[in-house]
Amino acid sequence: MKALYGEDRMGAERRIRTTTRLQVPDRVPVSPLIYYFAAHYAGLTNYELYDAVKYNRAIDMCFYDLGPWDAYYFMHAYYRELGSFLIPMKVREPGFDLPPDSVRQYLEEEIMREDDFAWLIRRGEKSPRLAYLHMFNRLIPRIWEHVGPGWRCAAFMLPRMIRNAVLYAREFRQWRDRGVTLLYSVGVEAPFDTFSLARGLMCFVRDLKDRPGEIAAAAEALTAAYAFRIKVLCCFLGVKRAIIDVHRSSNDFISPRTFAELSLPSLQLLVEKLAAEGITSILHCDGNWDLNLEALRRLPPGMVVVQFDGTTDIFRAKEVIGDRMCIYGDVPAEMLALASQSEVDEYCHRLIEEVGKGGGFILGSGCEVAPNARPENVRAMLRSVSKYGYYSR
């Protein structure tokens, strides 16, 4: 065990594991999502974050100047094409299609086609563990024309994936040497949300009306492949937690009824498959989830973390689902960018006292720390756990 603060009685991994199991750790853990803010803080352009040396220098500055934090929440990749394995959409990147200090932009275009639902269902029946790879081998050439289809896609992507993995392994070892654990081993988009992103919003809205049965069947066909990929990578990295992004299942996009009937069944199946392997699912819930909270109670107790982004009422979430799953969040981006340091400190104090009561709470940013966040506000958020977070007090 390497203590991050003098009063710590647990290491970071044990603290996170205890918290996600709804038990009481020595103190509330903290894990921010930092990417573009690191460039801003280190005086780099966003494009320079593709350079491994510059990225690590920037994120280290945040850790040592403003932190520490318990769990490393990574979201970077050193090749822009690799992000398509998570979000299958065309994208404009800083330094490539945009000015070097811009932020990434996703384009709502039809990447996945209508007949791909039936094709995916057949693939899921024929090779359930490989359906994920078959789908992305089909979609990525439509996103990046220079990649090419078939074996040329594999020949292009594989060496980049290997080099990215080598850089990850080096970075993860350095974080563990500091006493910091990994928040998760692998991230995926939930099956329903994968379709919403790949089809484009307008096409998918029509799909919800015209082919709801195909959407549900295709989402279920993907769960075995997702679970197999997550299991392999969790075993490889030794951290039995996985991020599942549900970007398009909030009340901002679909009704609670559509969520319960079309999104939740495949999500629940995936979470249950992972729970059977001892893997905790961290649901990255963008948007407003107030009307979906009751439905989330169907997920396995003690095996789910729900991360909110500043839009959902996190205090109500503690009341509705806090007895079954860990709550993660939720200092909003606008607060980190626009509020005063004392306001951030007071809000974190309230989160720790109310949402952290009885355990089962991880303090973090509401989704990503805003690129223009005030450093003193980020510091106030990260260090509030040492001021207010010890349960022995």
How far is C-alpha 242 from the chain's CA centre? 8
Return the pLDDT at 1: 74
**Domain total for the chain?**
1
Torsion of CA 68, 244, 127, 240, to 10 degrees: 40
Does residue 5 form part of some domain?
no
Does residue 143 form part of some domain?
yes
Residues of the chain with pLDDT under 50: none
Whole-number Å distance between alpha carbons of 393 and 388: 8
Return the pLDDT at 111: 96
Return the pLDDT at 393: 83
Does residue 346 form part of some domain?
yes
pLDDT digits (tens, 9 = 90+) for 277-288: 999 999 999 999
Return the pLDDT at 211: 96
Does residue 7 form part of some domain?
no
Hey, CA dihedral for 232, 236, 238, 239, is it positive or negative? negative
Domain of residue 257, CATH code: 3.20.20.210
pLDDT digits (tens, 9 = 90+) for 322-374: 999 999 999 999 999 999 999 999 999 999 999 999 999 999 999 999 999 99
Return the pLDDT at 157: 93
Does residue 3 form part of some domain?
no
Return the pLDDT at 242: 97
Does residue 319 form part of some domain?
yes
Does residue 249 form part of some domain?
yes
Return the pLDDT at 140: 95
3-state secondary structure of 280: strand
Q: Using alpha carbons, select from 313, 314, 320, 328 the residue that is nearest to residue 359.
A: 328
Return the pLDDT at 69: 98
CB 33 within 8 A of CB 73: yes
Return the pLDDT at 133: 87
CB neighbourhood size of 251 (10 A): 17
Range of the domain at 301: 12-388
Return the pLDDT at 150: 85
Whole-number Å distance between alpha carbons of 380 and 376: 6
Which residues have C-beta within 8 Å of that of residue 162, sequence separation ≥ 6? none
User: Six-digit token pair at 330?
Assistant: 């939720």
Return the pLDDT at 296: 97
Q: Using alpha carbons, select from 43, 72, 75, 78 the residue that is nearest to residue 57.
A: 43
Does residue 162 form part of some domain?
yes
